[in-house]
Structure 1
Amino acid sequence: MTQSNSRLFDDLGRLMTDAAGLADGVRREVETVARSQMERMVATMDLAREEDVDILREMVATQRTANEALEARVAALEEQVTQLSSASPVEKSDA
């Protein structure tokens, strides 16, 4: 009887090992199908690539710097106009 119990446990162990291998195979197959579906969905979407976003980020930073420089120039010019207006008032001529 000891030998039959040992054989039963061996068979049960093999069955469990086979079931674990089958479960692992199913898991891998489900992951592959899910990954494939996600890649197909992403491919149909109009998404920006990371490289494109990085390029746009650099362009925006450059434009922000240029805008700040232009704002400073406009402020300086407005100051000059104010100083010139107050220093020499324009006389109106009677025509």
Structure 2
Amino acid sequence: MQSDNRLFDDLVKLVNGAAGTLAGVGREAESGARARAREWIGGLDFVSRDEFEVVKAMAVAARDENDALKARLDALEARLGATPTPSADPVPTA
């Protein structure tokens, strides 16, 4: 009877060791995949969320300033009673 328990104990130890090894291999594979993904993404021209938010805020501010300047120009033209005339060198709008 003693030998049966020892065999069972050895089998349990073997299975536990294999499970631990498989878990370690899984963690190592995951970290390797993450490192390769970071290298691949790092080679692309992505911007961080912070950089995107800064540029987005700058674009909103520029649009607001453009709208304010257009309203001011329209008010000045209305005050002068002049109609806007196309200039010889039109400024491209973007």
TM-score greater than 0.5 by the shorter chain: yes
1:54 to partner: Cα distance? 2.3
Partner of 1:7: 6
Partner of 2:31: 32
Identity of aligned residues (%): 36
Partner of 1:74: 73
TM-score by length of 2: 0.74
* Mapping 1:16-95, distance limit 5 Å: 16-82=15-81
Gaps of 5+ in 1: 86-95
TM-score by length of 1: 0.74
Q: Which has the higher contact order (CA 8 A, sep 6+)?
A: 2
Q: Which whole-Å CA distance do the structure 2 matches of 1:9 and 1:75 have between them?
A: 91
1:78 to partner: Cα distance? 3.6
Q: Greater Rg, structure 1 or structure 2?
A: 1
1:59 to partner: Cα distance? 0.8
Give the AA of the match of 2:17.
D
Partner of 2:91: none
Structure 1's consecutive aligned runs of 4 or more residues displaced over 3 angstroms after TM superposition are: none
The structure with more helix, counted as a fraction of residues: 1
The CA RMSD measured in Å over matched residues stands at 1.9
Give the AA of the match of 1:63.
A
SS in 2 for 1:47: coil
SS in 1 for 2:45: coil
Work out the number of aligned pairs and report it.
83
